[in-house]
Chain A
Amino acid sequence: MGGGTQCPTMDLLRSEPMQLVQLIIPAESAHRSISYLGDLGLFQFKDLNSEKSPFQRTYATQIKRCGEMARKLRFFKEQMMKAGLSPSARSVISDDFDLDNLEVKLGELEAELIEMNANHEKLQHSYNELIEYKLVVQKAGEFFHSAQNSAAAKQREDEAQQRGEGSIDSPLLLEQEMVTDPSKQVKLGFVSGIIPREKSLAFERILFRATRGNVFLKQSVVEDPVTDPASGEKAEKNVFVVFYSGERVRNKIVKICEAFGANRYPFAEDLGKQFQIISEVSGRLEELKTTIDFGLVHQSNLLRTIAHHFEQWSHLVKKEISIYHTLNMLSIDVTRKCLVAEGWCPVFATNKIQNVLQRATVDSNSQIGTIFHVLQTKESPPTYFHTNKFTSAFQEIVDAYGIAKYQEANPGVFTIITFPFLFAVMFGDWGHGICLLLATSYFIIREKKFSSQKLGDITEMIFGGRYVIMMMSLFSIYTGLLYNEFFSVPFELFGPSAYGCRDPSCGDASTAGLVKVRATYPFGVDPTWHGTRSELPFLNSMKMKMSILIGVAQMNLGIILSYFNAKFYGNELNIRHQFLPQMIFLNSLFGYLSLLIVVKWCTGSQADLYHVMIYMFLSPTDDLGENQLFFGQKFLQILLLLAALVSVPWMLFPKPFLLKKQHDERHRGQSYALLENSLDDSDETELHHGSGSHEEFQFSEVFVHQLIHTIEFVLGAVSNTASYLRLWALSLAHSELSSVFYDKVLLLAWGFNNIIILIIGLIVFICATVGVLLVMETLSAFLHALRLHWVEFQGKFYEGEGYKFQPFSFTSLDTEDE
């Protein structure tokens, strides 16, 4: 919500007046105009080509080009991620690239990078191959070496034993065969190589099957994971040597090796040759290593230069894509000389938009300026509230229920105060309030830092509502002082308690024998109430009555707002036959109850209000007896009851009949009505009449609708009032929970006189306070306050059937990442 700080001060109650505007933009300055409008961010384009598929639109090729560039940028990003570089945030605003240059440049860079990668891959491939080769030579060398040793030992042994029976545990088949049948030794060949470990078992099995067991496979585990040359990934591998006899078997083995992705490497039996190979391989490995390193340095240099510009480029590309998408929404004139745009803008921005368009015309050296033309329309304009960082969160609360109809009375204005206040009624504890205030002021103080970085889901939410939480905490400090609660400990902040002992003997007794000795405690609840046996009945009665007063007040506000709405839209019918009876009905029942409460508080009467209310309906003519609060109460009650009874049919019947009459009249004099309408300047009446004359008037539907409305209001008046009792219930729960934690944890631990138990108790107390009271209770009180606003308050007047003003703006581009 940056941008327009110099906007005129706004009345948040009504959304900004909007206008439908037609822009006729010469083709040559179109791109620049859209770009400037995007910078301004106060114009919502309408899609004039919605029936066309994306690639049939005028600027499809440009979008494709941009998409291609975006793909290249993603490729760079991926490469940078691989190289461990992050795009530098300190994006240098160097020379202004235009799109064509950027496209060429990106293409070049991509080609260079791809070539570099290919080279690197080739080198890496041969490097990995050499490493595997070296491993194979080493491991296989070990086989042969050990086999030879044992064979030699065996031979000696055999000679000593004069060719005794062949031992069973010969180390290698090869060696056994060599000994037993020297004639076959020539034909025995072998294949050596390396294979991924998880495949080795299947490999062995297939080998066995394919050759009917006529092979000997020797494997050895390579301890460290080896990089596979083909895939470039690290894998656990085994070195193997397969001994076989015969050429056909060899072909099979080779095929199987290929099938299993086993890399074969030649191997020399001769020991001297082996050493030669190893040293050769090591030499080449080193050469390759230096080449690869050099290549890597080169590559990372290139990537670093890319990283330097990356942010700027990607921003530019995103901007271009959004511009072309917007241009695609415009309709093209047949001559292709100019583009026609339609869209909504706030009336106050007219001059700004004209200036911007002017500037675009000048900057693009266009001969003709853009034509700015306001259209008359029957369409309902979008809703636009000019919010700032403080009010936006409250507006969000309202918007979550429904976007206000165009210029409907906005409950957001009242929500700013009533929402935190209702929350605080349920969350009254100034100690907890201070904790919340500290937490939220951390977010507010570091606002600049947080708003620039990406936050987690929950942090983001808390950060977004930081001002709401601040207001909530301030109000809960206030109500906490009223309730005189500080982590459920009472304080004598505003002077000494009004109550004292009748005589010195009662000592520290706090439950009985107290009399009023001083003037009434000046602010909030007297601290002496805390811990007494009559604490709960006293506080319950107080909070319950307070909840009803608050509720009736807020519901009245809601109904009054419906009056303002009706007046604003010039709807006399709603004022006379909806607002008035509703007002009378609510106040004759619950307004009267509120009056009784106030009277009872002021006079200190003992009257039973339940009794009064219930018998007001059951037997209104009976004598009130001891429950009489003031003179003439019975008469007043009968009057109010009659008023309430009258207002129900008043709500129900006149409106549908009057609507029908209006409709019939309009039909009879249709031509006349139209003429009158065309003379009428007011948008609203035109809108109303226009839509009314088109649609079929169905009396039964309207009547049923009105019936539902009436029943809902009448029943709602009772249930909504009862619903406000949640204020009392939650407040009670909060204070009881906190006193439980205080008494049963902290004081109990204190009583042991043991430092360790005290510390444990303190830790438990803090955890419980933070976890249950500060987090869970905040959440639940928040939700209940939300409900009271959405259902009980907004249900009285708010339609919320509008749609939001979504201007074309570049500021939102960066945030909608991926």
Chain B
Amino acid sequence: MYGFEAMTFNIHGGYLEAIVRGHRAGLLTAADYNNLCQCETLDDIKMHLSATEYGPYLQNEPSPLHTTTIVEKCTLKLVDEYKHMLCQATEPLSTFLEYITYGHMIDNVVLIVTGTLHERDVQELLEKCHPLGMFDSIATLAVAQNMRELYRLVLVDTPLAPYFSECITSEDLDDMNIEIMRNTLYKAYLEDFYKFCQKLGGATAEIMSDLLSFEADRRAVNITINSIGTELTRDDRRKLYSNFGLLYPYGHEELAVCEDIDQVRSAMEKYPPYQSIFSKLSYGESQMLDKAFYEEEVKRLCLAFEQQFHYGVFFSYMRLREQEIRNLMWISECVAQNQKSRVHDSVVFIF
């Protein structure tokens, strides 16, 4: 029901929307990035960040600073904000907010399972997990030997359980399987999230379907590019694409048969919104594709703030912060490794 959110939205969602818009105003600006890019040491970065909203989180860190500490503290701030919002949220916003974290949950599951496969220490793996995607029994994942066990032991309790229906096999876990599992889960997750947003209706459905479609299309392209030259069959590849988005269904048919990056390119260039992304790249190049996609995503996320009375702002804010943390990580890595010339390679300005 278009137009009527304005009447009732603020009853439950008004406070949190104000909060999230306030948080969004605290995102680093281009001027901040400029200053950060000029930093000589990690201490400079800390000093600069202490003037921003990250100040209280970095303030008490002793001086020889590491990139991981900076990233950890910045993530902690995001997590704190998220938890605060989740505490305040009522249905259906709280479910919406929970949906945002499922992606991280999938990543964490894959991380732990891969790690155990390579016999890493569980504790060490847990530290690497994204704090937003944590759930109670996550450490128990290490016990599982195959998908079926994984599901039966641990995941049946988590919100991810329904997504698993398509990938329960008794095969032992290996790298390939896990990667397929990740993509299958992600596909199911995106479709579920998409359906949920459609059910919410109104501006939320409109904006989120745009954002999620973009996400689904990006994943489709990435799956295609990554699976070129692997033993993944066309049908299997086709199965990993989400069943919505701009590319669905004809674009998927074309992507499924692609054999090299240039074919992907010609398939994608038929879609005007992606034409501009691919036109920036030279032929045969796929390195810069990620950045181009990120830039496009950031642009779309920022646009979500232009409209009021919808939940897309929460999704956008979380994604923008994550992008910002990725930027900070890249900048601090470049500074720490004295590679300042490469600073601009991967930083995506948010404004």
Q: Which residues of B contact A53 (CB under 8 A)?
A: 35, 38, 48
- In the complex, are the beta carbons of B153 and A210 less than 8 A apart? yes
Distance (whole angstroms) from the CB of B325 to the closest CB of chain A: 21
- In the complex, are the beta carbons of A206 and B122 less than 8 A apart? no
Contact of B143 among A56, A71, A255 (CB under 8 A): A255
Stretch at the interface among B11-19, B39-47, B87-95, B100-108: B39-47
- In the complex, are the beta carbons of A210 and B63 less than 8 A apart? no
Bound form: Cα–Cα A64–B42 in Å: 12
- In the complex, are the beta carbons of A209 and B153 less than 8 A apart? yes
Residue of A55, A56, A202, A256 ringed by the most chain B CB atoms within 10 A: A55
Distance (whole angstroms) from the CB of B32 to the closest CB of chain A: 9
Q: How many residues of B contact A (CB 8 A)?
A: 27
Contact residues on A (Cβ < 8 Å of other chain), bracket: 20 to 34
B266 contacts chain A at the CB level, 8 A cutoff: no
Stretch at the interface among B133-141, B182-190, B215-223: B133-141
Bound form: Cα–Cα A199–B157 in Å: 14
Q: Which residues of A contact B29 (CB under 8 A)?
A: none
Distance (whole angstroms) from the CB of A63 to the closest CB of chain B: 8
With A68-B63, A206-B153, A210-B153 already in contact, the answer to whether A55 and B44 are too (CB < 8 A) is: yes
Contact of B47 among A54, A252, A258 (CB under 8 A): A54
Q: Which residues of A contact B140 (CB under 8 A)?
A: 206, 210, 255-256, 259-260
Bound form: Cα–Cα A255–B145 in Å: 12
Bound form: Cα–Cα A68–B59 in Å: 9
A431 contacts chain B at the CB level, 8 A cutoff: no
- In the complex, are the beta carbons of B143 and A256 less than 8 A apart? yes
Contact of A60 among B47, B122, B157 (CB under 8 A): B47
Distance (whole angstroms) from the CB of B39 to the closest CB of chain A: 7
Bound form: Cα–Cα A75–B142 in Å: 38
With A55-B48, A67-B47 already in contact, the answer to whether A206 and B154 are too (CB < 8 A) is: yes
With A54-B47, A209-B153 already in contact, the answer to whether A258 and B38 are too (CB < 8 A) is: no
Bound form: Cα–Cα A194–B189 in Å: 37
- In the complex, are the beta carbons of B59 and A71 less than 8 A apart? yes
Q: Which residues of B contact A206 (CB under 8 A)?
A: 137, 140, 153-154
Q: Which residues of B contact A46 (CB under 8 A)?
A: none
Bound form: Cα–Cα A55–B40 in Å: 9
A74 contacts chain B at the CB level, 8 A cutoff: yes
- In the complex, are the beta carbons of A64 and B139 less than 8 A apart? no
Closest to A61 in B: B43
- In the complex, are the beta carbons of A259 and B122 less than 8 A apart? yes
- In the complex, are the beta carbons of A54 and B48 less than 8 A apart? yes
Distance (whole angstroms) from the CB of A24 to the closest CB of chain B: 29
Bound form: Cα–Cα A209–B38 in Å: 55
Distance (whole angstroms) from the CB of A71 to the closest CB of chain B: 6
- In the complex, are the beta carbons of A64 and B47 less than 8 A apart? yes
Distance (whole angstroms) from the CB of A55 to the closest CB of chain B: 4
Distance (whole angstroms) from the CB of A120 to the closest CB of chain B: 19
- In the complex, are the beta carbons of B137 and A75 less than 8 A apart? no
B22 contacts chain A at the CB level, 8 A cutoff: no
Q: Which residues of A contact B50 (CB under 8 A)?
A: 67
Closest to B51 in A: A54
Residues 59-77 of A, flagged 1 when their CB comes within 8 A of B and 0 if not, give 0100110011001001100
Q: Which residues of A contact B35 (CB under 8 A)?
A: 53, 55
Bound form: Cα–Cα A255–B62 in Å: 35
Q: Which residues of A contact B62 (CB under 8 A)?
A: 68, 71
Interchain residue pairs with CB less than 8 A apart (16): A54-B51, A55-B35, A55-B48, A56-B38, A64-B43, A71-B62, A205-B157, A206-B153, A206-B154, A209-B153, A255-B140, A256-B140, A258-B122, A258-B139, A259-B122, A259-B140
Given contacts A202-B157, A210-B143, A258-B139, 12 further A-B contacts (CB under 8 A): A54-B48, A71-B59, A74-B59, A202-B137, A205-B157, A209-B152, A209-B153, A210-B140, A255-B143, A256-B140, A258-B122, A259-B137
Q: 3 nearest interchain CB pairs?
A: A259-B139, A259-B140, A53-B35
